[in-house]
Amino acid sequence: MKRVFTTRITELLGIDHPVVCGGMTTVGRAELAAAVSNAGALGMVTALTTGSPENLELEIARTREMTDKPFGINLTILPTINPVPFDEYADVIASSKVAAVETAGRNPEQYIPKFKEGGLVCIHKAVSVRHALTAQRIGVDIVSIDGFECAGHPGEDDVSNMVLVPAASRQLDIPVLASGGFGNGQGLVAALALGAEGINMGTRFVATREAPVHDNIKRAYVESSERDTRLLYRPLRNTARFLKNEVTEAVLQIERDKGQDLQFEDVRELVAGPRQREAWLEGNKDRGVITTGMVVGLIDDIPSCSELVERIVAEAAEIVERGLPSKLAG
């Protein structure tokens, strides 16, 4: 599909459409990254999902076998139970010659110079305007603003993208990606109208044919509504959004029982990483927590990545061309 929308993000990343696939644990493998990039958007390999810096190199090579289009690598910098060699991952990314790196979690300032030296466009996920301004100050090229609707960690301020995106875009000089709640052409147009220059989608790309997760999970997304996500870890001030299932309900009951005395150890076994991977890959949606955004309520099919991106751009172009409905236009 020919380019319809040109923004600073499409220019910086060398992509046809202002759509980015955010990094996703377990899901962000070569198959999905290449399919998204081949669709004219920006695919993303999730570094930590590969298991080691050496495996990340192999995953990058595998992605290049499937696409000659630009793609990026996500590096989420968070405290972990077992030590993670973040410095080694950063070295692999800096020397990879991919188009972009998407960082999330802790401040990535120590890695920005080496990423820039490697020629990568630096994207950083932020859940507040103050964090976005910090990202700009340390040299990030694009900020991905994660609103309250997003999968994973929305922060603790509970600000939706309707407010967060324009609040960020009017204070930043660098371009903004709107993240959380996006999955169709209406969302793309809304994001652009709010001041963003593209959208970052995760959950919507899970329900595609190329996503390397079990079909049961994709079908569960199709069957879910906008009310079928749950926020966990709020008492720990580490809030995260997941698909409603038996595990989320069990964790919420423990949170209610423990109240302010809750410790992560109280729920650790239920939310452990191996259980999450089993849920994603083996298809038992009640086995572990499944990171999912509120946009799951807008998912009603499982297209290819190419079909999805083309549909989003075509819908958005039609909305722009059509303009406001006559009864609203005045």
Please report the DSSP string for 54-107 in residue order.
HHHHHHHHHHHHH--S-EEEEEEE---SS---HHHHHHHHHTS--SEEEEEES-
**Nearest-angstrom CA–CA distance, 99 and 13:** 6
pLDDT band at 7; cut points 50, 70, 90: very high
- Predicted local distance difference test score (pLDDT) of residue 1: 74
Within 10 angstroms of residue 51's Cβ, the number of other Cβ atoms is 10
Count how many residues are written for the chain.
330
**Nearest-angstrom CA–CA distance, 217 and 208:** 11
- The number of CA neighbours under 13 Å toward the Cβ of 310 is 10
H/E run at residue 49: none
Q: In the chain, what's the furthest Cα-to-Cα distance?
A: 60
Residue pair 226/183 in contact (Cβ under 8 Å)? The answer is no
304 dihedral zone (left: phi>0; alpha: psi -120 to 50; beta): beta
- Predicted local distance difference test score (pLDDT) of residue 279: 96
Residue-range domains of the chain with CATH: 8-210+304-322 (3.20.20.70), 215-294 (no CATH)
Instruction: Tell me the pLDDT tens digit for each residue of 67-126.
Output: 999 999 999 998 777 789 999 999 999 999 999 999 999 999 999 999 999 999 999 999
Mean pLDDT of 16-38: 97
Residue pair 230/48 in contact (Cβ under 8 Å)? The answer is no
pTM (predicted TM-score): 0.95
Instruction: Tell me the pLDDT tens digit for each residue of 273-328.
Output: 999 999 999 999 999 999 999 999 999 999 999 999 999 999 999 999 988 564 44
- Predicted local distance difference test score (pLDDT) of residue 79: 76
In single-letter form, the type of residue at position 72 comes to G
Instruction: Tell me the pLDDT tens digit for each residue of 127-182.
Output: 999 999 999 999 999 999 999 999 999 999 999 999 999 999 999 999 999 999 99
Please report the DSSP string for 147-191 in residue order.
-TTSSB---SS---HHHHHHHHHTT-SS-EEEESS--SHHHHHHH
